[in-house]
Amino acid sequence: MLTNEMQKKLIEQAVEAWHKAYAPYSGYSVGAALLTESGEIYEGINIENAVYPLTICAERVAVFKAVSEGRKKFKAIAVVTKNGGTPCGSCRQVLAEFGLETLVLIADTSGELKNTYTVAELLPQSFGNADLEQS
């Protein structure tokens, strides 16, 4: 369960991260704040590149930062965009790798919560390690 206070804090940190996004090509900035089971928060921003496939999303930046620090269990992630957009398919798959029950808080840049989902709701019938053949 995520308290209202923690939800507000995550969204506030995602809004702060949104201001740091590097989106000179699309103009679509994204900020994220990921809460681990142990209580740490990792921020992420989208970082675009002139070679478009090298761009990385805010959600994946936050997850990769957390995992690089040894954190692999997440409670929630707040995602902030100007229009309250949801994570892309790649981000949904990366989040699914670490838990389908992770809460995804969708907010706009004013900090208004637009919707809440679980990763499972955003990526039904997800592909995971159970789908891989064990040798």
Percent of the chain with pLDDT over 70: 99
Q: Are 114 and 84 in contact (CB under 8 A)?
A: yes
The pLDDT value recorded for residue 124 is 96
Output the average pLDDT for the chain: 96
Per-residue pLDDT tens digits for 28-62? 999 999 999 999 999 999 999 999 999 999 999 99
**Global pTM?**
0.95
Q: How far is CA 121 from CA 18, 33, 52, 60, 127, in A?
A: 24, 19, 28, 18, 13
What distance in Å separates the CA atoms of residue 118 and residue 123, rounded to the nearest whole number? 9
| Complete domains list, the chain, with CATH | 4-124 (3.40.140.10)
Residues 10, 4, 1, 84, Cα dihedral to 10°: -50
Would you call 59 a catalytic residue per the annotation?
Answer: yes
DSSP string, 62-123: HHHHHHHTT---EEEEEEEETT-PPPPHHHHHHHHHT-TT-EEEEEETT--EEEEEEHHHHS
* Catalytic residue from among 37, 40, 48, 59: 59
